[in-house]
Amino acid sequence: MNILQIVPEMDVGGVERGTYDLTIALTKRGHKSVVISNGGELADKLSGTGVIHYRLPVHDKNLLTMWRMVREIGKIIEQEKINIVHARSRVPAWIGFWVSRKHCIPFITTCHGYYSNHFFSRVMGWGKFVIAISNAIARHMIEDFDVPRSRIRLIPRGVDLTQFSYRGETKRTGEEKEITVGIIGRMTPLKGHGDFLRAMVKVVQEFPNCRIWIVGDVPKEKEDYLNHLQQLTRRLGLSRQVEFLGNCSDIAEILSHLDVLVLSTVTPEAFGRVIVEAQAVGVPVVATRVGGVVDIIEDQKTGLLVPPSDPLTLSAAILRILKEPAFADSLVKAARQRVEEEFSLEKMVSRSMAVYEEAMANKRILVIKMSSIGDVILATPSLRAIRSQYPNAWIAVLTGTESVPILQRCPYVDEIIVYDSKRRHHGWVGILQLGSELRRQRFDILIDLQNNKISHLAGFLSFAPLRYGYRNGKWDFLLSHGCRDWKKKISAVQHQFQLLRFAGITPPKEELLELWPSKEDEQKVQKWFENGWISENQKLVAVSPFTSQRWIAKRWGMDRFAELIDRLGKGGIRAVLIGALGDEPLARELIQKTQSNPLNLVGKTTIVELAVLLKGCRVLVGHDSAPLHVAAAVGTPLIALFGPTDPQRHLPPYKKGTVFYRNLICQPCYKTRCPLVHHNCLESVTVEEVYQEVRKYLRDEGPFDPAQGRRGTRDDRRERSTTKG
């Protein structure tokens, strides 16, 4: 594996030392480790270790410089064949994010601190995985930056236990013996140096030979702060005891001389690497109870925790350790054991490798199909193919509210994302909100089976680096990989398969539609049959006479359906009326036109309950609408009435059935209302023709069992009747 880490600089600091340790360890494990930084002391030490270092201005916030770095680092990625981009700060993260998208490789961030909640910082939550160095930082990224918990990976910093070797029991101290108490950290007011000095006044009173070490670099903008601390030292009468040692690269050497390490931070600390280093060496630690410190120290067991900005309590804790050697020994022994178990360099490297491998192996795939119920059913073969190609991937489907029940039990889908076109995602603002929701998921691959303007825009806003769809003139420039739409008259399923092949996915040989009803769905349908006085041997024909209010041209006519239902009734065949919510008034009007007694289930079934219902019917008669797709999915023969639409494009793949399509010169017109006086394409289809086709499928069959599916037939051969035209 070839890993690229980008950090602003490689000077001595917690972030830099963690990067240095990880790169060396990865190289020793046989991986290629590449670091890009603006240089520094630790960068010079990488020479001869096998780590490849490039010096570039990846610390510079100038937008032109950042854009230039995207191009420069892109060349390095190609040259070094990088598999993972890992950024550890905000400017490197912006550069790493765009370069990883361009080269379609996983992007990972590590959050080392608390970030101000503005747009520039949000990139730290844009990694496929976001590594947090403590639970406090994990909560910060979840609560303040809306990073989903599923993308957070907790990896505390680790220390090299060979470098920070355990020195054994705590040195015995007494009033006559010189002791050393130290604080290590960057010179900034947030570290609470003033509280530390005030606490040490009481300690020096009881241990006059106490030395006080203040270790840490002084940023140029904090020189006034150093002067303030020096003045405070003189006012407190600690000039003889206090030594300002400045920046020290050999922290292990400093720790070997300490009797107590103090961390007096007054604001939430991201982690506290120096605490772990001290515990590894065997130095007892007193720290303020802030942020990630509580992940490291278990109070009274592996160290002592005190409130921030409380010098009196801090001095009491230091004195307790100095006066109770046995207690101090118990702290350091327990702390060293916990470091070995949780905070070793080996643990950090193993956890980091696990995240890299997960990012490489587990793709996150989004499939967009947010149109009608029937079209979503037609997408089930494609979902099966995607799952077969990517068995370990996380597959999500963006679909409309009404189609959610179809996929709730789908074994090929891990997550359903609801496209709420009427409320939450309505209009331009709603689409932007949808894009924000999709970006949080950090998808690697997007397959657009919808292929309209909204789906192309939503896909682009998802920031998925690989976005496959058709070049159809509907904002297809937003796709990263567009497939030419050949405009051939092929079925909807084959049209999807053509796109899958373009995306490198092998479609199945059969166009098998699927639905997944539950036991509860089967029991509910059985109850309807019982309440409708339908016996086990009753022959049922499902009738779907309704279309949406928009597609008036698809309708065969109420009078024709009423006549068909009556002719079936005279032959002892019970008709079952099916339809959607809102079709109930039309159903009552149709029933009034009949002399028989059809079972009226219009508006009562969900789509999966309809699947169970159609399994119990000998045949379905209906327009170009969703029930045809459901019948095809459960193997029920269908008689399809096509008028303004083309069956070659919209007919579902079925085993048995008859299609009425006249092939008139005006067909297909795709007009919602017929402009002609006579609606010839459907009016020319007679009731007698349809009735005779229905009779072909009314063979004797066994009793219906919802648990087993549709009634067993004497002859279950695959057959497809010719189109009646």
Domain residue limits, the chain: 2-154, 179-341, 362-502, 519-696
- Least Cα distance to 134 among 7, 291, 308, 302 occurs for 291
pLDDT at position 62 over 90? yes
Same CATH topology for 2-154 and 519-696?
Answer: yes
Tell me, what's the pLDDT at 459? 95
Mean pLDDT taken over the chain: 89
Judged by DSSP in three states, 594 sits in: coil
* Residue entry with tokens 């060349």: 75
DSSP-assigned beta bridge partners for residue 87: 6, 109
75 burial via Cβ count (<10 Å: 0-12, 13-18, 19+): exposed
Query: Could you check whether the bond before residue 647 is cis, i.e. omega within 30 degrees of 0?
Result: no
What residues have CB less than 8 Å from 588, skipping those under 6 apart?
none
> Helix H segments across 653-707?
680-683, 687-696
pLDDT at position 672 over 80? no
H or E stretch covering 305: strand 304-306
Cβ(494)–Cβ(511) below 8 Å: yes
* Residue entry with tokens 């008028």: 643
Q: Which residue has the higher pLDDT, 713 or 23?
A: 23
Euclidean distance between the first and final Cα of the chain, in Å?
A: 62
pLDDT at position 83 over 90? yes
pLDDT at position 172 over 90? no
pLDDT at position 516 over 90? yes
Tell me, what's the pLDDT at 240? 93
- Least Cα distance to 528 among 402, 616, 619, 638 occurs for 616
Cβ(414)–Cβ(391) below 8 Å: no
* 706: confidence class by pLDDT, cuts 50, 70, 90: very low
Q: In angstroms, what CA-CA distances link 20 with 5, 10, 79, 132?
A: 10, 8, 22, 18
What residues have CB less than 8 Å from 230, skipping those under 6 apart?
244
Report which DSSP code applies to 402: G
Q: In angstroms, what CA-CA distances link 276 with 165, 283, 302?
A: 12, 10, 10
* Residue entry with tokens 């236990």: 161
Length of the chain: 725
Q: Which residue has the higher pLDDT, 721 or 470?
A: 470
- Least Cα distance to 351 among 130, 570, 586, 156 occurs for 156
Cβ(397)–Cβ(407) below 8 Å: yes
Rg of the chain over all Cα atoms, to the nearest angstrom: 36
Single-letter code of the amino acid located at 689: E
pLDDT at position 356 over 80? yes
Tell me, what's the pLDDT at 488? 67
Give the mean model confidence (pLDDT) for residues 15-27: 90
H or E stretch covering 574: strand 574-577
H or E stretch covering 87: strand 84-87
Report which DSSP code applies to 429: H
Tell me, what's the pLDDT at 321? 95
Q: Give the CA-trace dihedral at 675, 677, 680, 681, to 10 degrees.
A: 20
Q: In angstroms, what CA-CA distances link 153 with 110, 142, 146, 352?
A: 9, 12, 15, 9
* Residue entry with tokens 């019917």: 617
- Least Cα distance to 266 among 338, 180, 342, 199 occurs for 199
What residues have CB less than 8 Å from 712, skipping those under 6 apart?
701, 702
Go through 378-388 and write b for each residue having 16 or more CB atoms within 10 A of its CB, e for each that does not.
bbbbbbbbbbe
CA gap 632, 710 in Å, rounded = 12
pLDDT at position 132 over 50? yes
| Least confident piece of the model among 32-41, 62-71, 233-242, 697-706 | 697-706
H or E stretch covering 329: helix 325-342
∠ CA 565-574-581, nearest 5°, is 75
Superfamily per CATH, domain 362-502: Glycogen Phosphorylase B; (3.40.50.2000)
- In sign, the C-alpha dihedral spanning 139, 140, 141, 147 is positive
Give the mean model confidence (pLDDT) for residues 233-238: 94
Report which DSSP code applies to 260: E
∠ CA 691-378-520, nearest 5°, is 80
What residues have CB less than 8 Å from 549, skipping those under 6 apart?
none
Go through 224-261 and write b for each residue having 16 or more CB atoms within 10 A of its CB, e for each that does not.
ebbeebeeebeebebeebbebeeeeeebbebbeebbbb
What residues have CB less than 8 Å from 227, skipping those under 6 apart?
none
Tell me, what's the pLDDT at 394? 93
- Least Cα distance to 323 among 190, 170, 459, 533 occurs for 170
CA gap 457, 460 in Å, rounded = 5
CA gap 289, 381 in Å, rounded = 56
CA gap 278, 285 in Å, rounded = 7
Q: How many Cα atoms are found within 13 Å in the side-chain-facing hemisphere of 346? A: 6
Cβ(675)–Cβ(657) below 8 Å: no
179-341, CATH topology level: Rossmann fold (3.40.50)
pLDDT at position 175 over 60? no
Tell me, what's the pLDDT at 662? 84
The pLDDT tens digits of the residues spanning 593-616 come to 998 889 999 988 889 999 999 998
Could you say which of 3.40.50.300, 3.40.50.2000, 3.40.50.620, 3.40.630.30 is the CATH number of the domain covering 519-696? Answer: 3.40.50.2000
Cβ(573)–Cβ(698) below 8 Å: yes
Does the domain formed by 2-154 have CATH 3.40.50.2000? yes
H or E stretch covering 215: strand 210-215
Tell me, what's the pLDDT at 555? 83
* 339: confidence class by pLDDT, cuts 50, 70, 90: very high
CA gap 332, 339 in Å, rounded = 10
Report which DSSP code applies to 537: T
Give the mean model confidence (pLDDT) for residues 358-371: 92
pLDDT at position 716 over 50? no
* Strand stretches in 384-480, DSSP E: 394-400, 415-419, 445-448, 466-471
pLDDT at position 392 over 50? yes
2 burial via Cβ count (<10 Å: 0-12, 13-18, 19+): middle
CA gap 299, 302 in Å, rounded = 6
CA gap 492, 662 in Å, rounded = 21
pLDDT at position 648 over 60? yes
CA gap 513, 634 in Å, rounded = 8
Q: Which residue has the higher pLDDT, 463 or 664?
A: 463
- Least Cα distance to 130 among 81, 96, 99, 82 occurs for 96
The pLDDT tens digits of the residues spanning 394-453 come to 999 999 998 999 999 999 999 999 999 889 999 999 999 999 999 988 999 999 999 999
Judged by DSSP in three states, 464 sits in: coil
pLDDT at position 238 over 70? yes
The pLDDT tens digits of the residues spanning 248-300 come to 878 899 999 999 999 999 998 888 889 999 999 999 999 999 989 999 999 99
H or E stretch covering 492: helix 492-502
Cβ(356)–Cβ(296) below 8 Å: no
CA gap 150, 466 in Å, rounded = 21
